[in-house]
Each structure stands twice: as structure tokens, then as C-alpha cells.
């Protein structure tokens, strides 16, 4: 399953015609896009357990997407 086919914590992004990260990928440079993904990996890793949210799986979702972008599917 591809990262775009899944969502952690609901369906609010998947229910949109275009997911926000698809827009970001289209308008950001490759380096900016990779930086965005890495930043979210750091964010969700660091806040895991501090918020009522499935941050571990959100982090892993961004890791999956980053691996796809880097070609490490």
C-alpha cells in the first residue's frame, strides 16, 4: 500500500479531492518537499505520548512517504 492510500487518525485528508501533501509536492522543490517530510518525522517522533494522537503511526506514515519519494519503496 502506498502512503497516499492510507491516513492515520481519520479520513479528513483522504476525503479531499486532492490531499494537501500532493499540493505541497507539486509546488515545492524536491529539496523543500523532502525537508517537509523530514520535519514532520521529527515533529511526530518528538511529540509521541504528549498528545492524544497516534503520533507513532503518523511518523511512520511520513517515513513511508519519504522512502517512496527517495525511491526506497
Q: What is the mean pLDDT of residues 15-20?
A: 89
Q: What does R_g of the chain's alpha carbons equal in angstroms? A: 12
Contacts of 26 (CB under 8 A, 6+ apart): none
- Any idea what DSSP says for residue 14? T
User: Nearest 5°: phi and psi at 17?
Assistant: -60, -35
Question: What is the pTM for the complete model shown?
Answer: 0.84
What's the pLDDT at 72? 67
58 has a pLDDT exceeding 90: yes
Q: What is the mean pLDDT of residues 2-24?
A: 87
| Sign of the alpha-carbon torsion through 25, 34, 63, 70 | positive
52 has a pLDDT exceeding 80: no
62 has a pLDDT exceeding 90: yes
Mean pLDDT of the chain: 90
Amino acid at each position: 500500500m502506498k502512503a497516499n492510500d492510507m491516513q492515520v487518525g481519520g479520513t479528513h485528508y483522504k476525503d479531499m479531492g486532492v490531499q494537501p501533501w500532493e499540493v505541497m509536492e507539486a509546488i515545492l522543490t524536491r529539496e523543500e518537499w523532502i525537508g517537509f517530510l523530514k520535519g514532520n518525522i521529527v515533529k511526530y517522533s518528538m511529540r509521541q505520548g504528549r498528545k492524544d494522537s497516534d503520533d507513532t503511526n503518523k511518523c511512520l506514515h511520513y517515513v513511508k512517504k519519504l522512502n517512496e519519494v527517495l525511491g526506497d519503496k
